[in-house]
């Protein structure tokens, strides 16, 4: 019996296998990387007036918060999408073909 | 005469900056038929990233000018491209297939968001930059007026010409350019033929943002001051340039940019500087009334 067929018999569960966790984490990781690219200069550094020109202040904690928020947010979205799919279950044709294949 | 020549030089320099921004408008319009009103603000973000990179290089004691300029160019183009990509991904892609006004409204919202984002994180005050490239050549010297061509002006015009050449090659000779032209002609057909339309549109936004960032670098070097609001006016003028040249046409955008730069500079020099924006926008109104397809644009043929 294939893994897919066994998961069909067991019904939809709000569990996350390692196969599914990897793409979800990858998606969240890429979003966090993009957020880092967006935030590293515009949030990470602040130009402040000083004698003889401008100076830079750093705010790495803000960058960390922004990146972390994006990572968590994207992860939550991806998990929600996954669970919705699991709750809906496979379509009739795909379930039928899986069962026939398994049989 | 020397005064005229000086204004001509100033106008071409300003027009080059407008032209670089206008290319972003025209490319996006060409491929998805919408005006990306957030493009001016992408230019502003490019200018801010350039300013921060210059300050960082100053802290790191990198004073060799060519290396500093290359590093600023790389940092600004890369990070501004990320902004261009993100704007398309978050604000426009979900609205593809929606009613025609939806992405336009989203673009205006994104423009306001980006302005407020920079205002919040970088302050609303004007940010100055010490002159980086100084010196120049004296072209004409008379008793009443001296015509100067600064090294910075030479650099701006040369960089613009090089980028225009590179982009023309990119559009006409590469697979990405072919995909862009295919999407421009018929997006559904392009998709049926195996072109990844989403990727092509994303790359169009990325390349437009990269050009806008170069314009931002030129702007911060040329004027020496920036604030969160520079993108709005420069963006609207570049949009005027794109319409004047014929929106959707790459050479048209550059020509329009040059013309708007020249009109604005000559108006300021010979009439009154307070009304230079009026002159530029009057051109927009006149073009839309008398030549809506612009100077090099083609009329849109709609099959019924």
Reported ipTM: 0.83
- In A, minimum Cα distance to B76 occurs at A41
Are B176 and B201 spatial neighbours (Cβ–Cβ below 8 Å)?
no
Alpha-carbon distance of B219 to B19, in angstroms, equals 12
Out of B83, B129, B130, closest to residue A38 by CB: B83
The pTM score is 0.87
* Low-confidence spans in chain B with pLDDT less than 70: 299-304
Q: Where are the alpha helices (DSSP H) in chain A?
A: 3-10, 18-42, 60-88, 92-102
Q: From residue B93, how far is each of B31, B88, B192, B254 by CA, in Å?
A: 13, 6, 19, 27
Token duo for residue B270: 């010979």
Distance from CA of A16 to the nearest CA of B (A): 27
Boundaries of domain holding B210:
2-155+198-290
The confidence score (pLDDT) of residue A15 equals: 60
Residue among B56, B122, B128 whose CB faces A42 most closely: B122
The Cα angle at residue B69 between residues B63 and B71, in degrees rounded to 5 = 90
Q: How many CB pairs under 8 A join A and B?
A: 52
The answer, yes or no, to whether residue A27 has pLDDT greater than 60, is yes
Of A45, A46, A53, the CB nearest to B128: A53
Number of domains in chain B: 1
pLDDT of residue A1: 44
- Helix (H) or strand (E) holding B110, with range, is helix B101-122
Mutation target among A37, A38, A42, A46 for the B interface, most CBs of B within 10 A: A42
> Bridge-partner residues for A1, per DSSP?
none
pLDDT at B143: 81
C-alpha pair distances (Å), B36 with each of A31, A38, A70, B31: 23, 19, 25, 11
Question: Which range among A32-46, A53-67, B197-211, B239-253 shows the weakest confidence by mean pLDDT?
Answer: B239-253
Q: How far apart are CA B257 and CA B212, in angstroms?
A: 13
Instruction: Kindly state whether residue B172 falls inside one of the protein's structural domains.
Output: no
Radius of gyration of chain A (CA): 22
**What's the pLDDT at A21?**
83
Tell me, yes or no, whether B18 lies in a domain.
yes
For residue B123, list chain A residues with Cβ-Cβ distance below 8 A.
46-48
A38 interfacial to chain B (CB closer than 8 Å):
yes
Identify which of B82, B85, B121 has the shortest CB distance to residue A43: B121
Residue B260 forms part of a structural domain: yes
Choose, out of B47, B55, B113, the residue to mutate when testing the contact with A (most A CBs < 10 Å). Answer: B55
Residue B285, both tokens: 């109104």
Which single residue is written with the structure tokens 């972003």? B24
Q: Are A28 and A16 in contact (CB under 8 A)?
A: no
Residue B49 to residue A42, Cβ atoms within 8 A: yes
Task: Report how far Cα B23 is from the mean position of its chain's Cα atoms.
Answer: 6
Nearest by CB to residue B121, choosing from A34, A42, A56, is A42
- pLDDT at res. B300: 65
pLDDT tens, residue by residue, B79-117: 999 999 999 999 999 998 888 889 999 999 999 999 999
- Crossing angle of the two packed helices B2-32 and B250-270, in degrees rounded to 10: 140
In a domain, B183, yes or no: no
CA dist list (Å): B265 to B18, B208, B210: 12, 25, 26
Are B86 and A47 in contact (CB < 8 Å)? Answer: no
| B299 inside domain | no
Pairing of strands A53-58, A45-50: antiparallel
Interchain proximity B83–A46, CB inside 8 Å: no
Q: Is residue B277 part of a domain?
A: yes
């Amino acid at each position: 019996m294939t893994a897919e067929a066994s998961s069909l018999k067991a019904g939809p569960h709000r569990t996350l296998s390692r196969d599914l966790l990897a793409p979800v984490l990858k998606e969240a990781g890429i979003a966090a990387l993009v957020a880092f690219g967006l935030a590293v200069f515009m949030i990470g550094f602040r130009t402040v007036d000083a004698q003889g020109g401008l100076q830079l202040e750093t705010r790495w904690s803000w960058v960390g918060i922004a990146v972390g928020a994006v990572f968590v947010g994207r992860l939550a979205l991806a998990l929600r999408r996954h669970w919705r799919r699991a709750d809906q279950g496979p379509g009739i044709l795909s379930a039928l073909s899986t069962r026939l294949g398994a049989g | 005469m020397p005064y005229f020549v000086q204004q001509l030089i100033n106008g071409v320099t300003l027009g080059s900056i407008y032209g670089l921004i206008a290319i972003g408008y025209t490319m996006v319009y060409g491929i998805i038929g919408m005006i990306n009103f957030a493009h001016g603000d992408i230019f502003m973000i490019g200018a801010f990233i350039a300013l921060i990179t210059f300050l960082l290089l100053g802290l790191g004691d990198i004073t060799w000018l060519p290396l500093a300029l290359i590093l600023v160019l790389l940092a600004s183009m890369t990070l501004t491209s990320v902004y261009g990509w993100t704007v398309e991904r978050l604000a426009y892609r979900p609205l593809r297939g929606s009613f025609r006004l939806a992405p336009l409204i989203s673009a205006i919202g994104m423009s306001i968001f980006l302005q407020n984002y920079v205002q919040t994180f970088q302050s609303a005050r004007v940010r100055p930059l010490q002159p980086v490239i100084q010196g120049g050549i004296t072209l004409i010297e008379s008793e009443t007026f001296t015509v100067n061509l600064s090294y910075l002006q030479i650099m701006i015009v040369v960089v613009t010409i090089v980028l225009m050449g590179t982009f023309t090659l990119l559009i006409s000779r590469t697979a990405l350019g072919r995909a862009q032209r295919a999407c421009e002609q018929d997006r559904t057909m392009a998709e049926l033929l195996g072109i990844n339309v989403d990727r092509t549109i994303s790359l169009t936004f990325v390349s437009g943002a990269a050009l806008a960032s170069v314009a931002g670098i030129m702007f911060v070097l040329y004027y020496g001051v920036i604030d969160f609001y520079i993108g709005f006016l420069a963006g609207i003028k570049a949009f005027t340039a794109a319409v004047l040249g014929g929106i959707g046409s790459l050479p048209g955008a550059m020509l329009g940019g040059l013309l708007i730069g020249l009109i604005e500079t000559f108006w300021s020099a010979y009439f009154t500087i307070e009304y230079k924006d009026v002159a530029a926008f009057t051109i927009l109104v006149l073009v839309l009334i008398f030549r809506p397809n612009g100077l090099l644009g083609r009329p849109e043929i709609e099959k019924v």
